[in-house]
Structure 1
């Protein structure tokens, strides 16, 4: 009986992950364990230290990207782009493709040593860099603290403040570039600030029914455990 319950649980887990995979076009995570992986920095700001990989101490305990820069406002407003993935060679092209399938989230870990809290900024664009979607994420990143940033890829997400005068579909039908940075607060005068990036990923947002499947699986496992102990 126990083996039957375990088989049922395995089936439920498989179905749950299969449901996610069907909605996901570009699942990928960049941990920088293999180096810079084609990422670059600038030009929005004065770069004091070129982009480099630090081998340990990242959000996951491993490698991460780091640079020292003096942020300046870009042509897109009071934002500064610090990390760029802008070629097919970047992260082996793992972030390129059609992101319109829904239920996707772009995530990354951000850290800085400014003396004020900052908010993250992202721009996701076509291979030619236009059109692009700009997003200001309200997650507060305190100094010297690895903070996870999640950007749900959905036209109803209020974090998206611009689509370069075009539509959500026109931007996300062929993603080719990711540009990550910060929103510069009013009166900000920081210079030579250390900025770190780790674990950039594009994954599926679990559907409510996925959680229900896992809950059912856990219930089956609990029942099986109780029956085995009798």
Structure 2
């Protein structure tokens, strides 16, 4: 195979990897309402409390929930069952309320509701919680990689492995018992490529190295 053909093959590998690595399964900025969510529970779209005149809309809640309050209407799925969930989170202290536990929770579920696992929330020590959301009165971005293949993603006796999943949010009823003081914005769920894709990338890098050395040696001999 000519060097140009090797290079072309490698470019195809990188292109495939790039597409796989950047596959967004769900995104939401709440500028168009709650059409991507069903049920919406007590979820409401409100102006950004940090800058009400900016025109930026965000998600808040008019009530407290448990087991999920607002769910993505359509499920997301990646063959790898590995996802990155990113979002902006804000909690605003209410006078007399605890400052570290205002109730924002993020989870994944196999139904609406269904077997579920919480991946982020404001209660340290909550069973299965991956990330504790901090209360600092400012928007904070979180990016969490989750692997639904693991034993962690089992609720009761039901495994989420291989299932289409929904994202769910709530203002937890067991927190400060005050609704409407947590906010979410700029949510995205991205598929992480299967391990085979990384192996393919490494193989492509090896192919490039071999082709480069072969071409250099051929030039020297000529």
Same fold (TM over 0.5): yes
SS at match of 1:146: strand
SS in 1 for 2:140: coil
Tell me the equivalent position of 1:124.
109
- Specify which of 158, 167, 184 is matched with residue 158 of structure 2: 167
Which residue in 2 is equivalent to 1:135?
118
What's the CA shift for 1:4? 2.9
Instruction: Give, in angstroms, the shift of residue 215 of structure 1.
Output: 3.4
CA distance in 1, matches of 2:5, 2:173: 57
Deviation at 1:7, TM superposition (A): 0.9
Structure 2, unaligned stretches of length 5 or more? 94-98, 121-129
Deviations 1:179-226 (A, max 9, x none): 22366786x46654241232422524431x422332343452797599
Alpha-carbon distance in 2 for matches of 1:150, 1:224? 36
Residues 34-64 of structure 1: per-residue CA shift (max 9 Å, x gap): 7234336433xxx6xx31587xx9xxxxx98
Check whether the contact 1:66–1:194 (CA below 8 A) recurs between aligned residues: no
**Residues in 2 aligned to 1:69 and 1:152: alpha-carbon distance in whole angstroms:** 28
Which residue in 1 is equivalent to 2:183? Answer: 195
With the length of structure 2 as denominator, give the TM-score of the two structures.
0.57
Structure number with the higher strand fraction is 1
Q: SS in structure 2 opposite 1:8?
A: helix
Q: Does 2:102 align with 1:105?
A: no
Taking only aligned residues, the RMSD between alpha carbons, in angstroms, comes to 4.6
Which consecutive unaligned segments of at least 5 residues does structure 1 have?
Answer: 58-62, 87-92
Give the Cα separation in 1 of the matches to 2:3 and 2:46.
Answer: 51
Q: Is the contact made by 1:120 and 1:180 (CA closer than 8 Å) also made in structure 2?
A: yes
- What is the rounded CA distance, in whole Å, between the counterparts of 2:209 and 2:100 in structure 1? 44
Q: CA deviation at 1:28?
A: 1.8
| Equivalent residue runs for 1:1-230 within 5 Å | 3-13=4-14, 16=17, 28-32=25-29, 35-36=32-33, 37-39=35-37, 41-43=40-42, 50-52=44-46, 66-69=58-61, 72-74=64-66, 76=67, 81=69, 83-86=70-73, 93=74, 95=75, 99=77, 101-105=79-83, 107-114=85-92, 116=99, 120-126=105-111, 129=112, 131-137=114-120, 138-142=130-134, 143=136, 144-156=139-151, 158=152, 160=153, 162-163=155-156, 166-168=157-159, 173=163, 175=165, 177-181=166-170, 188=176, 192-207=180-195, 209-218=196-205, 220=208, 224=212
Distance 1:151 1:31, change over 3 A: same
The number of aligned residues is 187
Paired residues of 1:70 and 1:193 also in contact (CA < 8 A): no
1:182–1:224 Cα change, 3 Å: farther
